[in-house]
Structure 1
């Protein structure tokens, strides 16, 4: 009889104590579980605010084509580097020096010269331009040699339009030549500001002091 009573007391104590322990554990875990959700929401809101602050005002339509050509060029260069020892070994077995020089020249041209030439042509091409209205700052995006995005932040005061534009150059921003097209701007006002069309025109009629000295 005493053993049954003791077992009943132990069972009742377990029924009472286990919910209390579980309640304490869950109450301590709630702040820990809720912290990642709060951090992720705050981080997402911060990213959305930064994205909304920048306005995309320009997109280069040749961006996919340029990326595709550069990917093909880099992949062919990597294949040329891997195949060059095999080609040289096979050409050496023939024993013709002129053939060996010709093969090395062709493989070297497509391996090294073509990617450099493509990069020289496309490095000035602007793929995107974002505008920050709070600071009146433009952010131009270009593609470097390894297809990575390269950003250049500048203001209208940093832009210089050359009198004689160079090859694939529309303007210079902080001394960096950039190529853009007016028709691909979402708002032509930004293009006019960059090119200085909103400034008073200087007709460059000549120096009056030189004219007066020549007349005398």
Structure 2
């Protein structure tokens, strides 16, 4: 019912980042051996810390930015279960199964559009749904809306307490 358009780009960027990090880790002993001849221990330690910082920070930062991006989503109408897939740090797909009743819409955030099972934030673009009926069910548009305003003075008093 849903196909993420950035899936290929996310996989390519994460794969490139992991590959360069692995290559950099493999080259550390060679650089250490060549660097050891010309420099003091303090300079060598600073360079090694700087290299390791970027070697490990880049894939982790990319994962932090993309871990919530839903690459695809399926809906089983027989048991009312949605299955969303995301990509983990090592480019493996991770599945998240949930029902429409376990979906909540959080406060607006740049990296989260829904929270499933009260703990898993996901980034879903509503324009990428292929099945509009399933999208309406996903966003709970089939439920009735309570338009009753309530008493404004009571609401203000509750906030002030």
Structure 1: unaligned runs, 5 residues or longer: 1-56
Aligned to 1:112: 56
Higher relative contact order (CA 8 A, sep 6+): 2
Distance 1:138 1:96, change over 3 A: same
> Normalising by the residue count of structure 1, what TM-score does the alignment of the two structures yield?
0.64
Contact 1:91/1:99 (<8 A) preserved:
no
**Which segment drifts farther, 145-154 or 196-205?**
196-205
Aligned to 1:126: 70
Aligned to 1:201: 145
Determine the C-alpha separation between the residues in 2 that align with 1:172 and 1:116: 22
Aligned to 1:94, the other structure's residue is in SS state coil
- Tell me the alpha carbon deviations over residues 14-45 of structure 1, each in whole angstroms, 9 at most, x when there is no partner: xxxxxxxxxxxxxxxxxxxxxxxxxxxxxxxx
Matched, 1:210 2:154: yes
Aligned to 1:156: 100
How many aligned residue pairs are there?
A: 156
1:97: how far off? 5.0
1:191: how far off? 2.3
> Normalising by the residue count of structure 2, what TM-score does the alignment of the two structures yield?
0.84
Aligned to 1:75: 19
**Residue among 142, 145, 155 paired with 2:89:** 145
More helix as a share of residues? 1
1:62: how far off? 0.6
1:207: how far off? 4.9
Q: Higher Cα Rg: structure 1 or 2?
A: 1
Structure 2: unaligned runs, 5 residues or longer: none
Following superposition, which runs of at least 4 residues in structure 1 exceed 6 angstroms of deviation?
none
Contact 2:75/2:134 (<8 A) preserved:
no
Contact 1:126/1:141 (<8 A) preserved:
yes
Determine the C-alpha separation between the residues in 1 that align with 2:69 and 2:148: 31
Contact 2:83/2:98 (<8 A) preserved:
yes
